[in-house]
Amino acid sequence: MSCSEGLSPFSPPSARAVKLPPPACAGTLSVDQALAERRSVRRYADDPLTLAEVSQLLWAAYGITQPLPGIPELGGGFRAAPSAGALYPLELYLVAGAVTGLEPGIYRYRPGPHDLLDVLAGDRRQWLCHAALGQTMVQDAPASLVYSAVFSRNTAKYGERGRRRYVCMDLGHSAENVYLQCASLGLGTCGIAAFHDDAVRLVTRLPENEEPLYIMPVGRLPQKKGARG
């Protein structure tokens, strides 16, 4: 079945929260090795991700590394990725299809409690693939991270420079963390910016003040050669 087939109406969102396993702060791969092994991977093995792996990826992308509950403007504390003015304009969504211990669906990541807020039930990878111009790696990956931005968080302080420059810098910091964390976990990902914005917004049910920026499908490395680039 192609990724554009079988589209059907959305099911109603719920407010169920899924607590994620605590992230590990010590891995088996050095930063140097992760840098050397980082690649864009466009084909994946037919194996699910674990909830622990999803937890680690989301934490690396935008998670809390040092809680600071007494400074609410930091959104819970220092993060794994830097942000201009500590404004943290990004939001992360998980489009899960094959994650052990997690029902298929779309979830919003909350860095403070390190959990997933249920947005839509059901496997939506096919719809996200259709929104991403039919790039089949989005459908084939067990899950994808979808980044959006609340530009007003930056423009209120930095004006148009916040929109044109600083939000993009924040995205680059966070996305590279995901690449390196994938290398450390033996996973693969590939950044995607070619998609229909309105379609991605519809699939993920983004609020009106959020704009989609980036999709990162994630999966296990295939055994056959030539899948990395």
Q: In this predicted structure, what is the pLDDT of residue 142?
A: 98
Residue 10 domain-assigned (yes or no): no
Say if 225 falls within a structural domain.
no
Host domain of residue 64: 17-220
User: Does residue 32 fall inside a structural domain?
Assistant: yes
The answer as to whether 126 is a domain residue is yes
Residues 188-229: pLDDT tens digits?
999 999 999 999 999 999 999 999 999 999 999 987 554 445
Residue 127 lies in a domain: yes
Neighbours of 67 (CB within 10 A): 12
Answer yes or no: is 179 within a domain. Answer: yes
pLDDT for 64 equals 94
Name the average pLDDT for the chain.
90
Q: How many structural domains is the chain composed of?
A: 1
CA distances from 204 to 129, 147, 163 (A): 12, 10, 22
Residue 174 lies in a domain: yes
Q: Please say if the pLDDT value at position 35 is more than 70.
A: yes
- Look at residue 80 and tell me if it is in a domain: yes
The predicted structure's pLDDT at residue 29: 87
Q: What is the pLDDT of residues 100-128, one digit of tens each?
A: 999 999 999 999 999 999 999 999 999 99
Q: What is the CATH number of the domain that holds 142?
A: 3.40.109.10
